[in-house]
């Protein structure tokens, strides 16, 4: 049991109905999970309003209700705390409940449209190799030093974040790297966390289904930097036109990285091939096993962060050259017939363009590049024709297919994608709704030395159709199909 007063520390309270001198069991923001003596936090969501479930939470035993408006009828013996913003209150209470775990380790947040998982995961790898105990909160997984948990979100809700940070404290973790999504910032999931640093990667067209305009999306990202403490660092990509905007009002110490302009951490690509990158980072040359110019940016951000966190430069460079690619991020295999199959999580126009340009840059012969791609259902519809255009333009052959149609009609999604294809590229495209058939067809079409790119799902291990998830793994499927075809 925890004292309610301790949980409410630093929460901006407008009004209280009832007694606050009491012990409570735990905090819940979903009425369905409430148990005896819990605190229920009513949140106005995008689908429903938690305030409609206050009565249900009280019936299940909630002793305290945190809300933005006290209900007309209150139950005696229950304490109602009215706050300005229940999402903020939840984040602060979550931190209090778990004894402010973010303050007991060095927490670094990575935000931006692309590169968050890659940077956070590689920083985890690098600090592990440097001998530290490390934590990771990412789209792919949550790791408490060496124990791996499933991730449900890129940035989980504030109770989940603080729960895992507390686990990290218990395990003696010194550094934690986490992805900070725009949804996470907007829903205050990261509020009240004591960040040691923040990294900005880049900003492009994404999530405009949730954030109404690009400006709103950009402004939400900026609030992450606005709220960093003075002692923290803010490391931004100066080549991105929004890099300097992000740190306009931050109190944190400002640092920049860039490939194209002068910055604190400067990079130059000396060589780029399917084997990796030869980079010049400030005045040092280093080989990395990661492929593609966008990874040069990711490596620069990692290099800068390691320096800002106090690692020795030479040790950092040595560890950088040892980093392994992240699952579903430019993950590749080369078949017996020397067909290269690449699985990548590129599910935005910018990421897809980057991946295709990268492949086009580093391919040497007259290989055919066959791309298999789709767009998710119940997500931003504007990106569909843009991705269709990019895929068809930058590949020799493109097969449009399904990528988690969710509740939408998969054929309609494919039609939306096809609309973006230029007339001269149309003959290069095919549409096959079933993703497995699409991958199989790509394998049949591929000859010796050709390259197959399967984009959009990366590490995902399912396909979601009509709300139902069935096992699906791009990498395993392409591997099997190439084998079955004796290629």
Ligand X SMILES: Nc1ncnc2c1ncn2[C@@H]1O[C@H](COP(=O)(O)OP(=O)(O)OP(=O)(O)O)[C@@H](O)[C@H]1O
Ligand Y SMILES: CC(=O)N[C@H]1[C@@H](OP(=O)(O)OP(=O)(O)OC[C@H]2O[C@@H](n3ccc(=O)[nH]c3=O)[C@H](O)[C@@H]2O)O[C@H](CO)[C@@H](O)[C@@H]1O[C@H](C)C(=O)N[C@@H](C)C(=O)N[C@H](CCC(=O)O)C(=O)O
Ligand Z SMILES: N[C@H](CCC[C@H](N)C(=O)O)C(=O)O
CB nearer to ligand Z: pick between 198 and 456? 456
Q: Which does 379 bind (CB under 5 to 8 A by kind): ligand X, ligand Y, ligand Z, none?
A: ligand Z
Q: Give every CB contact of residue 291 below 8 A, 6+ residues apart in sequence.
A: 272, 273, 274, 275, 276, 277, 325, 330, 332, 358, 362
DSSP letter for each residue of 25-86: --EESSGGG--TT-EEE--B-SS-BGGGGHHHHHHTT-SEEEESS--SS--TT-EEEEES-H
At 135, is the secondary structure helix, strand, or coil? strand
Crossing angle between the packed helical segments 293-308 and 116-129, to the nearest 10 degrees: 50
Cβ at position 19, least distance to Mg ion in Å: 43
Q: Return the ∠ at Cα 335 (arms to 333 and 341), rounded to 5°.
A: 45
Structure tokens at 421: 């294809």
Q: According to the binding rule CB under 6 A, does residue 53 interact with ligand Y?
A: yes
Q: Which does 117 bind (CB under 5 to 8 A by kind): Mg ion, ligand Z, ligand Y, none?
A: Mg ion
Q: Are 439 and 372 in contact (CB under 8 A)?
A: yes
**Which residue in the set 457, 459, 474, 487 belongs to the binding site for ligand Z (CB under 6 A)?**
457
* Residue 235, beta-bridge partner list: 199, 255
Q: Which does 457 bind (CB under 5 to 8 A by kind): ligand X, ligand Z, Mg ion, none?
A: ligand Z
Q: According to the binding rule CB under 6 A, does residue 221 interact with ligand Z?
A: no
- Taking phi over 0 as left and psi of -120 to 50 as alpha, with beta for the rest, 145 belongs to left
Q: Under rule CB under 5 A, how many of the chain's residues touch Mg ion? A: 5
**Which residue in the set 153, 280, 363, 436 belongs to the binding site for ligand Y (CB under 6 A)?**
153
Q: According to the binding rule CB under 6 A, does residue 32 interact with ligand Y?
A: yes
A 10 A CB-CB count for 60 gives 17
Q: Which does 456 bind (CB under 5 to 8 A by kind): ligand Y, ligand Z, Mg ion, none?
A: ligand Z
181 labeled binding residue: yes
Q: According to the binding rule CB under 6 A, does residue 31 interact with ligand Z?
A: no
Q: Give every CB contact of residue 468 below 8 A, 6+ residues apart in sequence.
A: none
Q: Return the ∠ at Cα 71 (arms to 1 and 34), rounded to 5°.
A: 35
Cβ at position 81, least distance to ligand X in Å: 34
At 369, is the secondary structure helix, strand, or coil? strand
**Which residue in the set 255, 347, 353, 383 belongs to the binding site for ligand Z (CB under 6 A)?**
347
Q: Which does 53 bind (CB under 5 to 8 A by kind): ligand Y, Mg ion, ligand X, none?
A: ligand Y
**Which residue in the set 162, 456, 459, 481 belongs to the binding site for ligand Z (CB under 6 A)?**
456
Contacts with ligand Z, 119-158, as mask; x by CB under 6 A: -----------------------------------x----
In the complex, the residues that contact ligand Y under the rule CB under 6 A are: 29-32, 43, 45-48, 50, 53, 153-155, 157, 181, 183-184, 187
Q: Residue positions in the annotated binding site for meso-2,6-diaminopimelate?
A: 379, 403-406, 456, 460
- Could you list the residues known to form a binding site for ATP, using ranges: 112-118
């Amino acid at each position: 049991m925890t004292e309610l007063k301790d949980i409410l520390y630093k929460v901006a309270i407008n009004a209280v109905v009832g007694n606050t001198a009491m012990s409570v069991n735990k905090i819940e923001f979903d009425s369905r999970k409430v148990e005896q003596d819990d605190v229920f936090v009513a949140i106005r969501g995008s689908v429903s309003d938690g305030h409609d479930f206050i009565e249900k939470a009280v019936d299940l035993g909630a002793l305290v209700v945190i809300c933005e408006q006290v209900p007309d009828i209150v139950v005696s013996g229950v304490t109602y705390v009215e706050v300005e913003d229940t999402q903020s209150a939840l984040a602060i209470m979550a931190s209090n409940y778990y004894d402010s775990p973010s303050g007991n380790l060095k927490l670094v947040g990575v935000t931006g449209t692309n590169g968050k998982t890659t940077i956070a995961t590689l920083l985890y790898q690098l600090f592990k190799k440097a001998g530290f105990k490390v934590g990771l909160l990412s789209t792919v997984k949550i790791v408490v030093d060496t124990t791996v948990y499933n991730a449900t979100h890129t940035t989980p809700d504030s109770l989940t974040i603080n729960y895992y940070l507390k686990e990290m404290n218990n395990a003696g973790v010194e550094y934690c790297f986490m992805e900070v999504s725009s949804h996470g910032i907007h829903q205050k999931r990261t509020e009240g966390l004591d960040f040691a640093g923040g990294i900005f990667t880049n900003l492009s067209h994404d999530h405009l289904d949730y954030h109404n305009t690009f400006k709103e999306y950009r402004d939400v990202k900026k609030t992450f930097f606005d709220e960093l403490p003075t002692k923290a660092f803010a490391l931004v990509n100066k080549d991105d036109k929004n890099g300097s905007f992000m740190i306009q009002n931050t109190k944190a110490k400002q640092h920049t990285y860039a490939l194209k302009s002068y910055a604190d951490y400067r990079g130059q690509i000396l060589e780029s091939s399917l084997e990796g990158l030869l980079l010049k980072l400030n005045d040092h040359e280093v080989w990395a096993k990661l492929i593609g110019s966008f990874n040069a940016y990711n490596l620069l951000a990692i290099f800068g962060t390691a320096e800002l966190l106090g690692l020795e430069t030479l040790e950092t460079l040595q560890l950088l050259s040892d980093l392994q690619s992240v699952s579903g991020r430019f993950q590749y295999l080369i078949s017996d017939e020397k067909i290269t199959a690449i699985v990548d999580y590129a599910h935005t126009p910018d990421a897809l363009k980057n991946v295709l340009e990268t492949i086009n840059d580093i391919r040497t012969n007259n290989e055919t590049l066959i791309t298999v791609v789709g767009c998710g259902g119940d997500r931003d519809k504007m990106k569909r024709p843009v991705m269709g255009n990019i895929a068809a333009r930058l590949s020799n052959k493109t097969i449009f297919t399904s990528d988690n149609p969710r509740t939408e009609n998969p054929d309609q999604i494919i039609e939306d994608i096809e609309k973006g294809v230029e007339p001269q590229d149309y003959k290069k495209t095919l549409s096959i709704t079933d993703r497995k058939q699409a991958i199989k067809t790509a394998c049949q079409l591929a000859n010796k030395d050709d390259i197959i790119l399967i984009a959009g799902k990366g590490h995902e291990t399912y396909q979601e159709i009509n709300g139902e998830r069935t096992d699906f793994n791009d990498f395993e499927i392409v591997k099997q199909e190439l084998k079955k075809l004796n290629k």
